[in-house]
Amino acid sequence: MPTGPLARILDSMENAAADAARPAPRLVAVGKTRGVDEIAALAADWARLRPGATLAFGENYVQEAAAKVAALDGSGIEWHLIGHLQSNKAAQAAALFDWVQSVDRPKLVTALAAARPESRPPLNVLVQVNVDGEAGKHGCAPGDVPALAAAIAAQPRLALRGLMAIPEPHPDLSRRREAFAAMRALHEALRADHPGADTLSMGMSGDYAEAIAEGATMVRIGTALFGPRPKA
């Protein structure tokens, strides 16, 4: 039986989904500060464990991702931007990524749509929601989701795929689960108007089981795969 962090996490995800009587979500491996060699090794492990399936890989910064995408060209990795997107990086992000999970304002919608190359499929987009209303945190307010989603859906070069959130890292996991439940309700309401918005991206290394229990269809995991990030 395969061992190692990736195998353990995939098993844990499947067990959490089975316990909740839900389908297992997609894994997005998170590569902030990780080198090309580490990503390539993970991709090789993925190919052994999930032959024929596409590895989704998340990056926080456009510039850091650009070098990795170039170095791993032809690897078959699906690249996700999961960090805050500055407006002046939107054109580069639109050309570079397969998914942008952090759209939280109308200005980004317009910029991404205008810059998405015609040679590529529509860019998959998630609306990032500040579900706990944390001051200074990125993400739109829950009440702004319908209008922002409608703006995305109106753009032919974008594909509205759902919602993303990073709930407050409260030490009490039951509090985080409340946030995940609120996101599930938002997602269900969104799908009533946009059935193709099939993705709810939430849950990270310390709380993905709780997120899966509340209906996450995609989880973003870095530390549990790679270990603690190197100190600067």
Euclidean distance between CA atoms 71 and 45, whole angstroms: 18
Enumerate the H helices of the chain as residue ranges: 5-19, 36-49, 62-71, 90-96, 106-115, 145-153, 173-193, 208-213, 223-226
The backbone torsions φ and ψ at residue 137, rounded to the nearest 5 degrees and listed phi first, read: -95, 145
210-226 tens-digit pLDDT: 999 999 999 999 999 99
pLDDT band at residue 2, thresholds of 50, 70 and 90? low
- What is the pLDDT at residue 80? 98
Question: Does the structure show a pLDDT above 70 at 111?
Answer: yes
What is the pLDDT confidence band of residue 32, given thresholds at 50, 70 and 90? confident
CB 55 within 8 A of CB 76: yes
Structure confidence by residue, pLDDT tens digits, 156-192: 999 999 999 999 988 898 889 999 999 999 999 999 9
Please, what is the average pLDDT of the chain?
A: 95
What pLDDT band is residue 230 in, cutting at 50, 70 and 90?
Answer: low
Structurally, at CATH architecture level, domain 5-226 sits in Alpha-Beta Barrel (3.20)
DSSP state of 121: P
Give the H or E element holding residue 129. Answer: strand 123-129
φ, ψ (nearest 5 deg) of residue 29: -75, 135
Which residue, 20, 38, 22, is CA-closest to 30? 38
% of the chain surpassing 70 pLDDT: 97
Q: What is the pLDDT of residues 68-79, one digit of tens each?
A: 999 999 999 999
Mean pLDDT computed over 5-18: 97
The values of phi and psi at residue 121, to 5°, are: -65, 165
